[in-house]
Structure 1
Amino acid sequence: MKSYWCERVWLPDGVASRVLVRVDKGVIASLSTVDTIPLGAERLYGMVFPGFANAHSHAFHRALRGRTHSDGGTFWTWRDRMYAVAERLTPDSYLRLARAVYAEMAVAGVTAVGEFHYLHNGGNEMAEALRQAARDAGIRLTLLDACYLAGGIGQPVRGVQERFSDGTGDRWLDRVAELRGDENTRIGAAIHSVRAVPRETLSLVAGAFPDRPLHVHLSEQPAENQACLEAYGVTPTELLAEAGALTPRTTAVHGTHLSTKDIGLLGSTRTGVCFCPTTEADLADGIGPARELADAGSPLSLGSDQHAVVDPLLEARALEHNERLRTGERGRFTPAELVGALTNHASIGWPEAGRIEVGAPADFVAVRMNSVRTAGSEPDQLILAATASDVSMVVVGGKIVARDGVHEQLGDVARLLTDVLA
């Protein structure tokens, strides 16, 4: 049994001090307040949060960071650059890239990632590369295997898009059925978007694996909404509702350009919404109605998407800041609500995680309270001051994965990234 002494810890009912967390077989066995630190206990100073959940990742997009800004462009010209990266990847090169990206997440406090996977390349070799990469990086993985059958509404796949497509919904279903979860990996499904999955196939994907998480890109761009209205006479949200794809196990990613009716449909079905604020800013997507969605009943989660930034604390802060910019009001989300979005593991199929309590996985993140960024912060407002640079220790399943920005097994993550991106 291993013990961690926490100077302060974020518990389900609030912040507590001087808490000893005992871990047995990767699970929290007991919590107790102690005045004397037991011999041999690992000391975690600052604030200890539950592990952070990155609910939306495209690992290979990390290769585009700092390389798409010289000529401005649009989301659609950025997509062309993304396609060029996808065209070059092999299972071996994807393993090396994803391993480095997941290691970058690990040192930033991510303990579980939802990988929205559509680079299939005709089989499951790419998926197995992602599984191995997450295992090597020491974080949990939910593989959200995406159905991608069209290059746009009513358009065939072309060029590199052929690497994304299984040809038919039934072939997608057969291939995904071959994937098996393990102690570190869970398998989910995804509808890439209403652009990429024809209307007649949406219900097949939505109902394929009813006990697994289902994710979908939704209304990221106005052009997507317009194309859907012109082709089907309904919004993408309405189309998904018609197909039975809006459920409590579903997470809609982005939800940037929604009507009042769309918000009501998402909220009334308890469909989650994952915001990716740094990506949505980087791609000039816009700012979605996060507060309205939460009030309507949609649980919120956060993702780093294309990894323009890998900083979960920054994503959480940006959720609130975007609301302030959009409405001219402060305090749209409480710090506790931001922590809830940041630790929403249920959205990626790990409902037992995301809390520091007896019986939960021993996944937690220590954040310094004495850095140049965090000194003087109130403990319960630390999330609005800290960044990934303040993460001092990351623990997954009771095992230390990273200390002070260095990965325990993979070492210097900056060098790892530099080598693979070269």
Structure 2
Amino acid sequence: MKQFWCEYALLPDGLARSVLLTIEGAEDGDDARRFVAVEQDAPAGGAEVLRGVTMPGFANTHSHAFHRALRGRTHDGGGTFWTWRDRMYHVAGQLDPDNYLSLARATYAEMALAGITTVGEFHYVHHNPDGTPYDDPNVMGMALQQAARDAGIRLTLLDTCYLRGGLTADGHTPLSAQQRRFGDADVMAWGERVSRLDAWHSRGFAVGTAMHSVRAVPFDQLTAAANLASHVCEGTWSVDPLHIHLSEQPAENEACLAHYGRTPTQLLSEAGLIDRNLTAVHATHLNDEDIRLLGDEHAFASFCPTTERDLADGIGPAKALRDSGVGISLGSDQHAVIDMFEEIRAVEMHERLRTNARGHFAAQDLLGMATRHDSLGWEDAGQLAPGMHADFVTVSFDSPRTAGIDPAQILFAATSADVHTVVRDGEPIVTDGHHRLGDVGRMLADSIAPFWEDA
């Protein structure tokens, strides 16, 4: 048994003082430690004391780990989309299992420092650069699993189906030379490969699935994905959860309408893919019918505001989606920054910019977006409550950023730099602002530098 006494804590019903968290170990083969008691107005006794505001661990529901190597590398010449894409292919083309492990380990450690205890990795770099499979066709995914294990965070590996290079009014284009390593032959070949991944669910790992986008997966293959049998070759395969980039840019909508006569959301609906398992990533450029289709089925949307603004993609309809019944979660996507407080605030601030009015989301609503794990297959994580995974983050409120604030409004003042303690499944991974692996800045520098030596 472990106990932590929190000066303040954000519980499901709001801020509380003097909260005692009691954690007990795994039972029945479940390696996770869980909260067995959460007591308010409790004495510290012999518990470990946590000064500041404690809240549930964050869930980063959309990540491309290798994009971390792009930070601060795409803004020259005005920072156009094409600048970004060319640099992305430059990094993707050099990835191998060893350097991917190194880069992802450092990136996930940076996430841990920011209070992220679970990540959904949207993984599509599957094969050799020429498109031929590795001897083990899942070795790149296994590198990501190892990276998360080393960094101490929980991982849902969203293995991604990527079949075509793009979409125009005339149809889908072939994979380019830079995209060949992303692609499987078809949905069935992809499903067979995914079925061989080891989920290790009880040890903090799960395998989910993803379609890259309606640009990269033709309609007949989307339909095939919806109809896949649960047993594929040697393993068991399921579309729960299923993530897809959706209406990220107006050009995607225009191409889809020109070729299919439907919006991307309508295409997913016709394919039978919109349900409670679906997470629409970005969901930026939706019409009213799109929002209704997603809301009626209580699908999820993963908003990534710092990436959406970095790439000039636009502001998504967060309030309209929430009001329709869609569950909103948050991701850092390309990791222009890794700071869930930035993502949290941006959801509200972007609505303020759109409407010239304040107060669209309460702080508790925003915290719920940053801590909801259900779209990643972890329904029993994301709250300081008995029975939930023992994940939490403690944030200082006496730093230059947070000094003098109302602790109940910590989400509107703190940054990732204010995180001083992170615990996942009862085990500390960040203590006094330091990750258990050591100097994360040095890890990042060492893993990123080789990608740019010949640039």
TM over 0.5: yes
What per-residue deviation string (whole Å, max 9, x for no partner) do you get for residues 256-288 of structure 1? 111111111111111111110000010000001
Residue of structure 1 equivalent to 2:6: 6
Q: Residues 110 and 440 of structure 2 are in contact (CA less than 8 Å); yes or no, is this contact kept in structure 1?
A: yes
Shift of 1:35: 4.8
Where does residue 275 of structure 1 map in the other structure? Answer: 303
- Choose the corresponding residue for 1:203, options 223, 226, 231: 223
Is the 2:115–2:419 Cα contact (8 Å) retained in structure 1? yes
Partner Cα distance (1:319, 1:352) in 2: 25
Partners of 1:380 and 1:204 in 2: how far apart? 48
Q: Residue type of the partner of 1:126?
A: M
Aligned residues: 420
The one of 341, 356, 371 equivalent to 1:343 is 371
Alignment of 1:118-129 (within 5 A): 118-121=124-127, 122=133, 123-129=137-143
Q: Identify which of 174, 180, 202 aligns with 1:162.
A: 180
What secondary structure, in the 3-state scheme, does the structure 1 residue paired with 2:146 have?
helix
1:136 maps onto 2:150 in alignment: yes
- Paired position in structure 2 for 1:418: 445
2:178 equivalent to 1:172: no
Q: For 2:110, what is the secondary structure of its paired residue? A: helix
- Shift in Å, 1:210: 4.4
21-30 vs 102-111, greater mean Cα deviation: 21-30
Separation in structure 2 between the aligned mates of residue 311 and residue 206 of structure 1, nearest angstrom: 34
| 2: CA distance, partners of 1:74 / 1:241 | 33
For normalisation by structure 2, the TM-score amounts to 0.90
**What's the offset of the Cα at 1:401?**
0.4
CA distance in 2, matches of 1:211, 1:285: 28
Q: Deviations over 1:97-154 (max 9, x none)?
A: 0000000000100000000000011320100000000000000000001100000121
Structure 2 residue aligned with 1:189: 209
Q: Does 1:27 align with 2:34?
A: yes
Residue 412 of structure 1: how far off its partner (Å): 1.2
Q: What does residue 98 of structure 1 align with?
A: 104
Which blocks of at least 5 consecutive residues in structure 2 are unaligned?
26-32, 128-132, 229-236, 450-455
Give the alignment of 1:243-282 within 5 angstroms.
243-282=271-310
Contact 2:20 2:42 in 1 (8 A): no
Moved over 3 A (4+): 33-36, 206-211
Look up the match of 1:232.
260
Range that drifts further, 136-145 or 206-215: 206-215
CA distance in 1 between partners of 2:264 and 2:327 (Å): 19
Provide the rounded CA distance (Å) in 2 between the counterparts of 1:363 and 1:263.
Answer: 32
Map 1:297-312; keep pairs closer than 5 Å: 297-312=325-340
Match of 1:79 in 2: 85
1:88 paired with 2:94, answer yes
Root mean square deviation, CA, Å: 1.2
The C-alpha deviation readout for 1:343-366, integer Å capped at 9, x for no partner, is 011111111000111111100000
In structure 2, C-alpha distance between the alignment counterparts of 1:149 and 1:225, rounded to whole Å: 19
State the one-letter code of the partner of 1:14.
G
Please tell me the residue identity of whatever aligns with 2:14. G
CA positional deviation for 1:19: 1.2
